[in-house]
């Protein structure tokens, strides 16, 4: 952003801090502050309220408020430019963390564990409605990080063998897998896009990635064109 635009933005933010509590036309005599950029969509933090922000849409300025459970940090895309409250660092800006609870949802927007035991699913709330979501294959939900992680990172809460469906060998394997010891690799029956590797004796399900397939002979991920029988 150019220096004049930054100066204009500072003036807009300072002026609109008042708009949050009073009518814009009354405050400015009809001369409402304009957006620094005439085109596109830009969002700017409220200087005092972590749950509010200023939104410019093709030069039209508005004061917006995050939904319950969300706050603004300029990085969130959960809903209307806002992020989950646990992911936002508000600094000196105040944040109202009062929950508006509904069955299955502490906040109207949030992510929560699906059960008290190790689970490959979790609950994602939107507008107070709980919806079950699934971790990627081979991962389990971690309530501390609000993300899905390797199940061996959640021992003893999780059993990696039960989640992945594979038991790692106690001794170095023979054949191609031995080349990768102490992190041996194994093919996934019927699945050319993934492999199993063992980390400290615990299995992890790995995805080769876009346009890559796992070769059961070399135990490596190759371009799909090199493995026509799997494509």
Q: Any idea what the CATH number is for the domain that residue 55 is in?
A: 2.170.140
Query: Is 207 part of a structural domain of the chain?
Result: yes
Torsion angle of C-alpha atoms 5, 9, 10, 13, degrees rounded to 10: 180
Query: Is 179 part of a structural domain of the chain?
Result: yes
The pLDDT assigned to 40 comes to: 92
Q: Among 72, 97, 122, identify where a domain stops.
A: 97
Query: Is 17 part of a structural domain of the chain?
Result: no
Name the nearest CA neighbour of 49 among 69, 26, 66: 66
Asked if residue 214 lies in contact with residue 202, where contact means CB atoms within 8 angstroms, the answer is: no
Query: Is 122 part of a structural domain of the chain?
Result: yes
Please give the tally of structural domains in the chain: 3
Both 123 and 86 in one domain: the answer is: no
Beta-sheet pairing, 83-84 with 70-71: antiparallel
- Give me the tens of pLDDT residue by residue for the chain, a chain 231 residues long: 455 444 445 555 555 545 444 444 443 444 456 788 889 999 999 999 999 999 999 999 999 999 999 999 988 789 999 999 999 999 999 999 999 999 999 999 999 999 999 999 999 999 999 999 999 999 999 999 999 999 999 999 999 999 999 999 988 888 888 888 989 999 998 888 999 999 999 999 999 988 899 988 888 999 988 877 775
Both 179 and 156 in one domain: the answer is: no
Query: Is 14 part of a structural domain of the chain?
Result: no
Both 109 and 136 in one domain: the answer is: yes
Query: Is 1 part of a structural domain of the chain?
Result: no
Both 86 and 123 in one domain: the answer is: no
Query: Is 199 part of a structural domain of the chain?
Result: yes
Query: Is 12 part of a structural domain of the chain?
Result: no
The pLDDT assigned to 25 comes to: 43
The pLDDT assigned to 147 comes to: 96
Q: Among 56, 82, 97, identify where a domain stops.
A: 97
- Report the alpha-carbon angle 30-32-35, nearest 5: 155
d(C-alpha 195, C-alpha 176), whole Å = 14
Beta strands in 38-107 (DSSP E): 41-45, 52-57, 60-65, 70-71, 83-84
Which residues constitute the domain of residue 63? 34-97
Q: Among 129, 145, 165, identify where a domain stops.
A: 165
d(C-alpha 143, C-alpha 135), whole Å = 13
């Amino acid at each position: 952003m150019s220096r004049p635009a930054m100066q204009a933005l500072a003036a807009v933010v300072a002026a609109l801090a008042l708009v949050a509590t009073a009518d814009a036309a009354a405050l400015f005599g009809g001369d409402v502050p304009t957006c620094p950029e005439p085109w596109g969509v830009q969002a700017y933090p409220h200087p005092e309220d972590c749950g509010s922000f200023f939104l410019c849409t093709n030069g039209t300025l508005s004061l917006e408020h995050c939904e319950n459970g969300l706050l603004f940090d300029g990085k969130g895309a959960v809903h209307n430019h806002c992020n989950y409250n646990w992911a936002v660092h508000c600094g000196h800006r105040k944040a109202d963390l009062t929950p508006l609870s509904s069955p299955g949802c502490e906040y109207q927007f949030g992510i929560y564990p699906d059960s008290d035991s190790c689970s490959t699913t979790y609950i994602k709330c939107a507008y107070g409605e709980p919806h079950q979501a699934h971790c990627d294959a081979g991962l389990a939900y971690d309530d501390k990080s609000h993300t899905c992680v390797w199940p061996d990172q959640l021992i003893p809460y999780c059993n990696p063998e039960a989640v992945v469906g594979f038991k790692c060998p106690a001794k170095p394997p023979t054949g191609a897998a031995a080349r990768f010891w102490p992190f041996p690799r194994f093919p996934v029956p019927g699945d050319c896009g993934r492999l199993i590797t063992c980390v400290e004796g615990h299995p992890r399900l790995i995805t080769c990635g876009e346009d890559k397939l796992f070769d059961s002979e070399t135990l490596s991920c190759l371009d799909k064109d090199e493995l026509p029988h799997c494509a």
